[in-house]
């Protein structure tokens, strides 16, 4: 409940028992979004490897941040689709290295 006091509920249609999304209220610059997952859950199994890849590869993090800047101003669907393509690529590369 603490996050609901500070952030606006976001993407309620994606919420599960292990995933919740929030965004900063109003117009923050840069825009802030928070995805909360339960450690060890299936949601964490998706978000965790992506988070770890960004933490462990400064060049990848810079590429992700640059992509988000380039996408700024696009409609929500286009923005999330393009970001999703990046996330999927990173996860595919991460899984390929493991397997």
A 10 A CB-CB count for 50 gives 17
Q: Report pTM.
A: 0.75
- Whole-Å CA distances, 65 to 8, 52, 61, 68: 23, 15, 6, 5
- Is residue 77's pLDDT more than 90? no
The whole-angstrom distance between residue 94's C-alpha and the CA centroid of its chain comes to 16
- Quick: pLDDT tens for 18-31: 999 998 887 666 67
- Quick: pLDDT tens for 7-16: 888 888 889 9
Q: What pLDDT was estimated at residue 28?
A: 66
Q: What pLDDT was estimated at residue 57?
A: 96
Alpha carbons 59 and 27: distance in angstroms, whole number: 28
């Amino acid at each position: 409940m603490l996050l609901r006091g500070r952030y606006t509920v976001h993407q309620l249609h994606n919420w599960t028992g292990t995933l919740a999304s929030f965004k900063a209220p109003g117009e923050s610059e840069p825009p802030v979004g928070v995805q909360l997952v339960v450690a060890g859950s299936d949601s964490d199994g998706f978000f965790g490897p992506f988070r770890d890849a960004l933490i462990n590869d400064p060049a990848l993090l810079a590429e992700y941040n640059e992509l988000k800047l380039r996408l700024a101003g696009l409609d929500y669907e286009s923005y999330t689709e393009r970001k999703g393509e990046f996330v999927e690529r990173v996860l595919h590369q991460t899984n390929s290295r493991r397997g």
